[in-house]
Amino acid sequence: MTAINDVTTLETVGEVAVLTLNSPPVNALSAPVREGINNGIKQAMENDAVKAIVLICEGKTFIAGADITEFGKAPAGPSLFDALNMIEFASKPVIAAIHGTALGGGLEVALTCHYRVAVPSAKCGLPEVNLGLLPGAGGTQRLPRIVGPEKALEMVTSGSHVGAKKCLEMGLVDELTEEGKLRDGAIAFAKKIVAEKRPLKRVRDLSDKVEAARGKPEIFSEFRKANARKFRGFLAPEYNIQCIEAAVNLPFDEGIKVEQKLFRELVTGTQSAAQRHVFFAERQVWKLPDVPADTPTIPVNKVGIIGAGTMGGGIAMNFLNVGLPVTIVETKQEALDRGIATIRKNYENSAKKGRFSMEEVEKRMGLLTGSLEMEALADSDLVIEAVFENMDVKKQVFSKLDAIVKQGAILATNTSALNIDEIATAVKRPEAVIGLHFFSPANVMRLLEVVRADKTSKPVIATSMQLAKKIGKIAALVGVCPGFVGNRILAQRQREAQKLILEGAMPWDVDRVLYDFGLPMGPFAMSDLAGLDIGWSKEKSQGATIRDVLCEMDRRGQKTGAGFYDYDENRNAKPSPVVEKIILDFAQKKGINRRKISDDEILERCIYPMINEGAKILEEGKAIRSSDIDIVWINGYGFPVYRGGPMFYGDTVGADKVLAKMKEFQAQMGDDFKPAALLEKIVAEGKKFSDF
């Protein structure tokens, strides 16, 4: 065995050379890996005894792509194209031996090999689109030549990982080997190729599939139309489509030029920078400086939930989905029955859509027990309280839990705004108390804010994060403050949105600007969807806000056919002349001189105070890092991924510009716009939000 460099070895087994890459964690195509491939293949070529080469990886996976950390840095070592040419133009067959995931540049390496073998558990994909990129090492030109443009379009724009068996059907993999015996299987395959004197199969030379699609532009126009909603705002899907179009319409080398040009545009653009930021932010968020990975955790085998309302039911489903038994406690039989029936209905609907079988519905429902007695929770390892949002009620519940539930269990609250330190005073074991703030619908929304109270113990935090992962959430650890991280920032935007409609904008103006910015919907459309009467009561209403007036008129949102908007029978929203008049009258009564408000002002007034609040949150240590705030807003509120979250967006705009605008607004409109001390500091020190 010869070491080619620190991460590559070359070994000859009879007439087959085995080139092995070993660059943990994922064998990404860093400079040493590229060098290893380049020089390894070269050496094998020079050895006359070698008739074929197997390219294989150590560790958990085949090459998982280009080294994302290298983007934006000066190029070093041989280019990926040098390494790919070395493989593709080798005079002896090169066979990729795939386990784990062959992703992005990894699959592109495999596509320059003359043959591909894989274990059944392996997966292949071109996930560059998720990083705001396109496969920039020939993937968009080679893939459609094997699988055809339709499947290629699907793969490059979804970034999905395709299982080895499917790859075999599509021709992307030539043979499956026995699980766990990849090396032997690949060597045997190589010997077979040599013995049969099979020709070198170069993907670049295949033409039947792309030629068959030539002169059929509808393949692309229909694909664009069908996915327009999904791709809204993103550059990368469209650029990927253009590359596949080039593969169909141009000779290989010309297609590569198109791919190169579009790749360069994307990789230097802000969208890809934002999406790469999110990739790393999603991995960072699990790392807790003072709760190391080896912190002991509490085994959780039984979950208790109190309250079978909107949240309790959804929360329960998360645990049932992963096979954990759940006991749900209510005060009245009727509420319990209703809650359980809703869970069943949700599961049955999923089964109807083909997501799983009816047996699976019964299996999950079989794990659920309902009770009217809190005593039923005595042996739970984790109890999550989801009763009414009222401090006295919550404290009573916790004090009762303290007397009933076994020691060592986690006592969690799903409160969205109450002070968890105060809730913890109701028990003699405050170290067991934590906030698990699920978002509605709790069985769907990916975000979980794990709220650490003053006395919460580290094992309780570590267990909560681990459980979040188990139930498929992305969890951010945050501190106790009004609204925690997500809703605290939301409050800034909501306040400005309400002010803007009195000062001169209309709800549909504000909504349009925020929708065009990339949010799934604006604040007023959102209120109409959720129901304007959440937290509103006729008795307490004083007509003090536009919302009060609308609710009093029974314009309570989509469910009543009218809210800030008018709705037709298909729930299509139309700007409402009635609401316009209400707003104008209201502003007049308040003595507000309405003025024309520009789209820029709407955007800046809604978004910059959010960034500023994020800075305050960081300054108070209520979030660990600014990228955690981005994770909260992307996963809990639909902040566009291609803008990287509010804090990354702050960096894109420039902290200095955000500060200058906040000061300008403060001078005009007062201290709602008072800059955070950290924002001033970031600007003074020439730093970025992402440095914190």
Q: How far is the CB of 445 from ligand NAI (least distance, A)?
A: 9
Rounded Cα distance between 233 and 255, Å, is: 25
Q: Which of 4, 7, 86, 131 binds ligand 3HC (CB under 6 A)?
A: 131
Exposed, middle or buried, 482 (CB in 10 Å: 0-12/13-18/19+)? exposed
Residue 101 makes contact with ligand 3HC by CB under 6 A: yes
Side-chain half-sphere CA neighbours of 40 within 13 A: 32
Residue 104 makes contact with ligand 3HC by CB under 6 A: yes
Q: How far is the CB of 272 from ligand 3HC (least distance, A)?
A: 10
Q: Which DSSP letter does residue 90 get? A: -
Q: Which stretch binds ligand NAI (CB under 6 A): 388-396, 458-466, 469-477, 555-563?
A: 388-396
From the list ligand NAI, ligand 3HC, none, pick the one residue 588 interacts with, judged by a Cβ distance below 5 to 8 Å according to partner type: none
Q: How far is the CB of 388 from ligand NAI (least distance, A)?
A: 5
Looking at residue 626, its amino acid is S
Closest to 679 measured CA to CA, from 640, 651, 641, 643: 651
Q: Which stretch binds ligand NAI (CB under 6 A): 382-390, 536-544, 612-620, 650-658?
A: 382-390
Site size for ligand NAI (CB under 6 A) = 23
Question: 206: which 2 tokens?
Answer: 């295949």
Q: Which of 32, 127, 185, 650 binds ligand 3HC (CB under 6 A)?
A: 127
Q: Which residues pair with residue 562 across a beta bridge? A: 557, 566
Q: Decide if 476 contacts 452 (C-beta within 8 A).
A: no
Question: 676: which 2 tokens?
Answer: 């955070």
Tell how far CA 228 is from the center of its chain. Answer: 20
Q: How far is the CB of 505 from ligand 3HC (least distance, A)?
A: 40
From the list ligand NAI, ligand 3HC, none, pick the one residue 25 interacts with, judged by a Cβ distance below 5 to 8 Å according to partner type: ligand 3HC
Residue 388 makes contact with ligand NAI by CB under 6 A: yes
From the list ligand NAI, ligand 3HC, none, pick the one residue 67 interacts with, judged by a Cβ distance below 5 to 8 Å according to partner type: ligand 3HC
Residue 329 makes contact with ligand NAI by CB under 6 A: yes
* Contact characters 134-163, ligand 3HC, x per CB under 6 A: -xxx-x------------------------
Q: How far is the CB of 408 from ligand NAI (least distance, A)?
A: 23
The angle at the Cα of 180, spanning 179 to 181, to the nearest 5 degrees, equals 95
Closest to 237 measured CA to CA, from 305, 182, 155: 155
* Contact characters 399-418, ligand NAI, x per CB under 6 A: ---------------xxx--
Q: Which is nearer to ligand 3HC, 127 or 507 (CB)?
A: 127
Give the neighbor-by-neighbor strand order of the sheet with 162-163.
101-103, 123-125, 162-163
Q: Which of 331, 333, 349, 588 binds ligand NAI (CB under 6 A)?
A: 331
565-572 contact pairs (CB < 8 A, 24+): 565/507, 565/508, 565/524, 565/525, 565/528, 567/528
In order, the DSSP letters of 136-161 are TTTHHHHHHHHH-HHHHHHHHHH-PP
Residue 376 makes contact with ligand NAI by CB under 6 A: no
Residue 335 makes contact with ligand NAI by CB under 6 A: yes
Q: Which stretch binds ligand 3HC (CB under 6 A): 129-137, 187-195, 245-253, 441-449?
A: 129-137
Rounded Cα distance between 442 and 312, Å, is: 8
- Residue numbers at the binding site for ligand NAI (CB under 6 A): 306-312, 329-331, 335, 386-389, 393, 397, 414-416, 438-440
